């Protein structure tokens, strides 16, 4: 039988206004943007992954310095931010739900709620950064000082000495060379700023996306027919949340048990 090219009539029905010309139908368009977002997230996984590899390596190289550095972070603020982000993930999921069920007002409410929580997160983060600046814990600065002040100093030094593994290079450095050790703590703080900074940048981009969604929601663009933009923005938001789910224990909690 001969092969041939036939007319494929894709124009039998009325197009949704959001359908782009190179797609046949809304379903195809939705699949494309969905898969596109997922592969973008794969890209994001590898992007953050490089940073996590840096963390993994230095954490395993300088466990004590990391524990010390971590104990300089404010766990309660980290916890607060974790909770804020998880709630914002819930509101984001609800925003998608409201789009899927064509509830315009609920969409607007949930998007605004998500934006509010995202801003709270960034505000807390900014306060933490400021606090680190005040405590001379900015790794780029020449005034970087990792030693804690006051009565904590003795306690922490004792903790370091006790936990340094015997026969390790680590112990010598801890015992004899606080300059070297300071460099390691500095690396912890550099990694802390790099990872949380990258994460915060993603949050800011996320807020921009939310603003755009809000505009669309106010214009009543999204409904059960067409909610792909809300859906994929949600995917992005949840991804950023997941990154934080890992960052919180890895940065804020890793040295807590040494204080026990």
Of residues 75-134, those binding another protein (CB under 8 A)? 75, 79, 82-83, 86-87, 89-90, 92-94, 97, 100-101
In the complex, minimum distance from the CB of residue 226 to another protein, in angstroms, rounded to a whole number:
11
Distance CA 156, CA 211 (A): 45
Distance CA 228, CA 82 (A): 27
Among 12, 50, 150, 166, binds another protein (CB under 8 A): 50
Under the binding rule (CB under 8 A), the answer on residue 73 touching another protein is: no
Q: End-to-end distance of the chain based on CA atoms, in angstroms?
A: 80
Q: Where are the alpha helices (DSSP H) in 62-165?
A: 63-71, 75-100, 104-134, 152-163
Q: Which is nearer to another protein, 42 or 218 (CB)?
A: 42
DSSP-derived secondary structure letter, 223:
-
Distance CA 95, CA 168 (A): 53
Of 123-131, 148-156, 205-213, 244-252, the window that binds another protein (rule: CB under 8 A) is 244-252
Of 33-41, 112-120, 121-129, 206-214, the window that binds another protein (rule: CB under 8 A) is 33-41
Distance CA 43, CA 47 (A): 6
Q: Which has the closest alpha carbon to 163: 94, 231, 254, 237?
A: 254
In the complex, minimum distance from the CB of residue 238 to another protein, in angstroms, rounded to a whole number:
5
Under the binding rule (CB under 8 A), the answer on residue 235 touching another protein is: yes
Under the binding rule (CB under 8 A), the answer on residue 15 touching another protein is: no
Q: By CB under 8 A, what part of segment 139-198 binds another protein?
A: 139-140, 168-169, 180, 183-184, 186-187, 190-191, 194
Of 59-67, 114-122, 150-158, 203-211, the window that binds another protein (rule: CB under 8 A) is 59-67
Under the binding rule (CB under 8 A), the answer on residue 54 touching another protein is: yes
Distance CA 238, CA 93 (A): 9
Number of residues that bind another protein (CB under 8 A): 91
Under the binding rule (CB under 8 A), the answer on residue 62 touching another protein is: yes
How far lies 45's CA from each of 38, 143, 207, in Å? 10, 34, 20
Torsions phi, psi for 74 (to 5 deg)? -90, 105
Among 18, 19, 52, 109, binds another protein (CB under 8 A): 52
In the complex, minimum distance from the CB of residue 93 to another protein, in angstroms, rounded to a whole number:
5
In the complex, minimum distance from the CB of residue 134 to another protein, in angstroms, rounded to a whole number:
19
Among 154, 204, 211, 245, binds another protein (CB under 8 A): 245
CB 210 within 8 A of CB 233: yes
Chain centroid to CA 242? 6
Under the binding rule (CB under 8 A), the answer on residue 240 touching another protein is: no
CB 163 within 8 A of CB 67: yes
Under the binding rule (CB under 8 A), the answer on residue 204 touching another protein is: no
Among 18, 19, 32, 77, binds another protein (CB under 8 A): 32
């Amino acid at each position: 039988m001969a092969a041939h090219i036939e007319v494929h009539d894709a124009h039998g029905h009325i197009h949704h206004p959001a359908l782009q010309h190179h797609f046949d139908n809304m379903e195809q368009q939705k699949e494309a943007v969905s898969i596109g977002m997922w592969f973008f997230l794969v890209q994001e996984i590898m992007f953050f992954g490089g940073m996590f590899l840096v963390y993994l390596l230095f954490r395993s190289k300088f466990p004590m310095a990391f524990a010390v550095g971590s104990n300089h972070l404010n766990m309660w603020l980290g916890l607060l931010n974790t909770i804020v982000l998880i709630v914002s993930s819930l509101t984001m999921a609800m925003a998608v739900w409201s789009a899927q069920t064509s509830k315009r007002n609920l969409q607007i409410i949930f998007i605004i709620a998500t934006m509010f929580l995202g801003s709270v997160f960034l505000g807390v983060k900014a306060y933490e950064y400021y606090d680190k600046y005040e405590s001379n814990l900015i790794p780029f600065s020449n005034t970087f000082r990792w030693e804690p002040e006051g009565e904590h100093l003795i306690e922490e030094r004792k903790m370091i000495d006790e936990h340094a593994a015997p026969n390790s290079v680590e112990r010598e450095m801890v015992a004899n060379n606080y300059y070297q050790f300071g460099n390691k703590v500095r690396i912890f703080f550099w990694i802390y700023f790099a990872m949380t900074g990258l994460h915060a940048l993603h949050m800011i981009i996320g807020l921009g996306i939310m603003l755009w969604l809000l505009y669309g929601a106010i214009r009543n663009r999204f409904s059960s027919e067409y909610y792909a933009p809300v859906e994929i923005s949600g995917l992005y938001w949840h991804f950023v949340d997941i990154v934080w789910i890992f960052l919180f224990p890895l940065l804020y909690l890793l040295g807590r048990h040494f204080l026990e």
